[in-house]
Amino acid sequence: MRTTVTLDEDVERLLREAMHRTHKSFKESLNQAVRAGLAGSAAGLEPFVVRARPLGLRAGVDPGRLNQLGDELEVEAAIARMRRTEAAERRRQARTVARPARRKR
């Protein structure tokens, strides 16, 4: 099949490097790269494996609810911050009301 393909600069560079390294034509290098990409195989590489480790949580801590705990702590911190801001604003307003305005002479 004949088609027109627009390659990004980095892809073109990689393709030309593969052509030079393998001494293959543009067509052969492109077909090989597309096959490898569509096959989804990492030729010759070991699959990445995630090894589970114990979390070391205390008894009664449900790891499935840790996000909920984080959310609750975040809400508590936001409420405390809001209360501090409101208290500071009330103090500022009280100082403004308590001071009479100075008259110009």
pLDDT (tens digit, 9 = 90+) per residue, 60-80? 888 888 888 899 999 999 999
- Is the predicted pLDDT of residue 85 greater than 60, yes or no? yes
Q: 31-35, 37-41, 82-86, 91-95: lowest mean pLDDT where?
A: 37-41
- Is the predicted pLDDT of residue 98 greater than 90, yes or no? no
| pTM score | 0.37
Q: What are the extents of the domains in the chain? A: 9-39
**pLDDT tens digit sequence for 11-42:** 999 999 999 999 999 999 999 999 888 887 65
Q: Given this model, what pLDDT does residue 42 score?
A: 56
Following DSSP, what letter does each residue of 34-88 receive, concatenated?
A: HHHHHHT--TTPPPP-PPP----PPTT--GGGHHHHHHHHHHHHHHHHHHHHHHH
